[in-house]
Amino acid sequence: MKLWFKGGSWASKRAARVVETLRPEAIRRIAVIRHAALGDMVLTRPFLLELRRFFPNAEITLSLCSNYTRGAPEDLVDRVHVVYGSDRKDVPLKQQIARARELGEQDLIFDLASTARSLYTCVLNKAKLKIGFPYKTVERFLFYDLTFPRSDFHHETDTMLDAIKMFGHRPAYPPCYAMPGEAAKRERLYIVYFPSASTPKRCWPKKSYGELVDRMSLKYPDYEHIVLEGIADWEKVDDIVDPLATRGNVLSMQLNDYDETVSFVKGATLLIANDTGIRNLAVACETPTVGIFSITPVFRYWPRHSNHEVVFCIDGSVPPVADAEQAAANVLISCAE
């Protein structure tokens, strides 16, 4: 193999020499460290699929964090390794180190997290090459042999694929997610709205969601308009749904089971949401989306393929309801073509 870059990415002198001695078919053990929540986890699927294509004889281990296992693509790997996360602060340090070392010696380690836990997992396990996207320049020298940039102007899935483009691999485009599960079947086509997020400050105002559902339910009366409810008290959606309940095509729903959520999202005609894991799940399910952004990097989570739109204001202010309505109309028109 050889390294197919001149700038942007970085390789130590040792890494450049090692790469020249490697052949994709001779790689036997690969570890992928992905300590991330549901939304980022499902976006990893194309990377694992392409890793299998480029290194066909490798045993692939996925390293997870115990507090982030929901949506882990276990169907695409041979082995799962779990380090102790924030939910296991009771575990003694010696035991945490021992668990991290269970990852074992690898030919290649890809760190797709760049967190404190992923860094010490890298340090505690041997590999011919360690590849990652560190946030601080000094970390590249301390923890990795090869690094690639994580740009806020590049979709997260594409960023991960850069890690194997460095070796000359040509991934499929658009990316293939191969998300398992059957799409839910309902009597009517349905549009899903998810007004929650990991924190309230990431959310478009509920008043705006209420106005959007009001307009959309009138404009598209043949669809069911289903507003998903979160589990926290502040995630209740009664104030959105109750004023519109008499229309007969607006209802609320709460989904707690992961497989049920995947099936429901797969069956939707369109999903409208804030920057959340549910929207990333929809991207992985190849369900058209409209993302509403205000504080997070919009381009990092905007796949520039298929039927995905985003709504945001360049000054970071609250996007108007009319913009979200128009984006939804654009996606539905594109889906119908």
Are residues 196 and 134 both part of a single domain? Answer: no
Q: Residue 336, class by beta-carbon neighbours within 10 Å (0-12 exposed, 13-18 middle, 19+ buried)?
A: exposed
Residues 286 and 177: beta-carbon distance below 8 Å: yes
Query: What's the pLDDT at 55?
Result: 98
Residue 173 inside a domain? The answer is: no
Are residues 271 and 140 both part of a single domain? Answer: no
Q: Report CA torsion sign: 314, 317, 321, 322.
A: negative
Query: What's the pLDDT at 136?
Result: 85
Are residues 149 and 40 both part of a single domain? Answer: yes
Residues 291 and 309: beta-carbon distance below 8 Å: yes
Number of domains in the chain: 2
Which of 126, 150, 165 represents a domain boundary (last residue)? 165
Cis check for the bond before 134: say yes or no (omega within 30 of 0).
no
Q: What is the CATH number of the domain that holds 138?
A: 3.40.50.2000
Are residues 161 and 197 both part of a single domain? Answer: no
Q: How many helices (H) and strands (E) does the chain have?
A: 12, 13
Q: Report CA torsion sign: 332, 235, 69, 262.
A: negative
Which residue has 């982030």 as its token pair? 68
Are residues 196 and 74 both part of a single domain? Answer: no
Are residues 154 and 40 both part of a single domain? Answer: yes
CA dist 298 and 329 (Å) reads: 20
Distances from the Cα of 302 to the Cα of 23, 112, 207, 291, angstroms: 34, 19, 24, 8
CA dist 266 and 70 (Å) reads: 17
Which residue has 């296991």 as its token pair? 88
Map residue 222 onto helix, strand or coil.
Answer: coil
Cβ neighbors of 171 (< 8 A, separation 6 or more) are 46, 50, 161, 164, 165
Please, what is the angle between helix 206-219 and helix 321-336, to 10°? 40
Q: Which of 178, 23, 32 is nearest to 110 (CA)?
A: 32
Which of 115, 131, 165 represents a domain boundary (last residue)? 165
Residues 237 and 207: beta-carbon distance below 8 Å: no
Q: Which domain range does residue 39 map to?
A: 10-165
Residue 175 inside a domain? The answer is: no
Which residue has 């990333």 as its token pair? 280
Are residues 120 and 238 both part of a single domain? Answer: no
Cβ neighbors of 257 (< 8 A, separation 6 or more) are none
CA dist 96 and 115 (Å) reads: 15
Residue 3 inside a domain? The answer is: no
CA dist 222 and 191 (Å) reads: 10
The two structure tokens encoding residue 189: 């086509």
Residue 21 inside a domain? The answer is: yes
Query: What's the pLDDT at 233?
Result: 87
Residue 4 inside a domain? The answer is: no
Are residues 159 and 236 both part of a single domain? Answer: no
Please, what is the angle between helix 156-165 and helix 45-54, to 10°? 20
pLDDT tens across the length of the chain (337 residues): 999 998 889 999 999 999 999 999 999 999 999 999 999 999 999 999 999 999 999 999 999 999 999 999 999 999 999 999 999 999 999 999 999 999 999 999 999 999 999 999 999 999 999 999 998 888 888 899 999 998 899 999 999 999 999 999 999 999 999 999 999 999 999 999 999 988 889 999 999 999 999 999 999 999 999 999 988 889 999 999 999 999 999 999 999 899 999 999 999 999 999 999 999 999 999 999 999 998 889 999 999 887 999 999 999 999 999 999 999 999 999 888 7
CA dist 72 and 182 (Å) reads: 18
What stretches of the chain show up as alpha helix (H) in DSSP?
13-20, 38-42, 45-54, 93-101, 116-123, 137-143, 156-165, 206-219, 238-241, 258-267, 277-284, 321-336
Residue 263 inside a domain? The answer is: yes
